[in-house]
Amino acid sequence: MTKYDVIDKFSDRRVVVVGDVMLDIYEIAEPAPDVYQFPVFSVIDTKHFLGGAGNVAANARSLGAEVYLFGETGSDMSGEKMDRLLKEGGIENKTSPCGVATTTKRLVVTGNGHTMRIDREDREPISHHMVEYILREIDEIGPEAMIIADYGKGVVTPELCRGIIERGKARGFPVFVDPKSDFGKFRGSTMIKPNRRELMEFCSVSPQDTLDRYCIDAFLVTADIDGMDLYTDTDHSHTPAFEKEPVNDVGAGDTVIATCALAVTSGASFEDAMEIASHAAAIAVRNEYVHAVTAEELEASLCECLVSS
């Protein structure tokens, strides 16, 4: 099976994404003409994008899959905006309103790039009742793959992870994880995708030893312009980054985990999935803002690489 055959199968996949949903708000600004003791910017435009688990879902949907998204949002204007973005993106919105504000990341962008970021969030763990609701809905949907997008905001609890991974084992669907916390709660998952910093923070032994300790099939470590490294119980392989001068790397990890999940579920080996995901990440980081990669863009990138090699 070629990589093109794999990508063609993306549209046949049914994927559930569970995790910390957030709204990315880009304030396009320019420095104010007056001089103050602190930086002052005048906003000239505002753009909104799905962030966190929402961006994972947006990438999976843009690549062609049928996507269901679970998480928590607030009953506020940011939550309403997120709901509209999910509808516009064709994503099945299974998020639940909670009693706190929607998680937001507000980035001030000037001619010099990202100047500052202001986060609004609540890290309270979700309730047992919420966990039961998500697991019950997963049973009804019958996914072909699960993606857990953990950003440490409270949705990805040990209880929820245990329920998802147990269902994956029992029903035969793979579970892919983008972790922001201790790898132990993802025991038994198919693939974990930390970046290099997260690997150093949460992994006290070698990646192969971690696979054995937590019964994980594959470890994919992303390292920005240094590419990606894949570890299994028997092998280690590397793929380069296909974009060495990124414009904006926000959300690239979301692109990688979404692409890997679809590729493996569509019949790709872990190594081929890593290479396909590296192409997807290259497309994402060439864009000024968060970008959901399409299957057409991905196939064009593969073709361009083949022609130039």
Assign residue 239 the CATH number of its domain. Answer: 3.40.1190.20
Q: Of all helices (H) and strands (E), which one includes residue 104?
A: strand 104-110
The amino acid present at 256, given as its one-letter code, is V
Residue 101 lies in a domain: no
Q: What tokens were used for 278? A: 């590296």
Structural domain boundaries, residue 290: 3-17+54-95+124-308
Give me the number of domains the chain comprises. Answer: 1
pLDDT, residue 271, reads 96
pLDDT, residue 8, reads 97
CB burial string 288-299: b at 16+ within 10 A, e below: ebbbbbbbebbb
pLDDT, residue 231, reads 94
pLDDT, residue 309, reads 54
Residue 31 lies in a domain: no
Residue 7 lies in a domain: yes
pLDDT, residue 168, reads 97
Residue 29 lies in a domain: no
Q: What tokens were used for 40? A: 């002052």
68 has which bridge partners?
16, 92
Q: Cβ(156)–Cβ(20) under 8 Å?
A: yes
Task: Look up residue 113 and give its DSSP letter.
Answer: E
Residue 141 lies in a domain: yes
Residue 116 lies in a domain: no
Write out the chain's pLDDT in tens, 309 residues. 899 999 999 999 999 999 999 999 999 998 888 777 788 888 999 999 999 999 999 999 999 999 999 999 999 999 999 999 999 999 999 999 887 899 999 999 888 777 789 999 988 999 999 999 999 999 999 999 999 999 999 999 999 999 999 999 999 999 999 998 888 999 999 999 998 888 888 777 777 888 888 999 999 999 988 999 999 988 999 999 888 788 888 899 999 999 999 999 999 999 999 999 999 999 999 988 899 999 999 999 998 876 665
pLDDT, residue 308, reads 61
Q: Cβ(149)–Cβ(58) under 8 Å?
A: no
Q: What tokens were used for 44? A: 């000239």
Residue 22 lies in a domain: no
Residue spans of alpha helices (H) in the chain: 3-8, 53-62, 77-88, 128-141, 158-171, 196-202, 207-214, 252-265, 270-285, 295-308
Q: Within a 10 A sphere around the Cβ of 189, how many other Cβ atoms? A: 25
Q: What tokens were used for 208? A: 């192969």
Known catalytic membership, residue 34: no
Task: Look up residue 286 and give its DSSP letter.
Answer: T
Q: Which of 20, 24, 150, 254 is catalytic?
A: 254
Residue 63 lies in a domain: yes
pLDDT, residue 230, reads 96
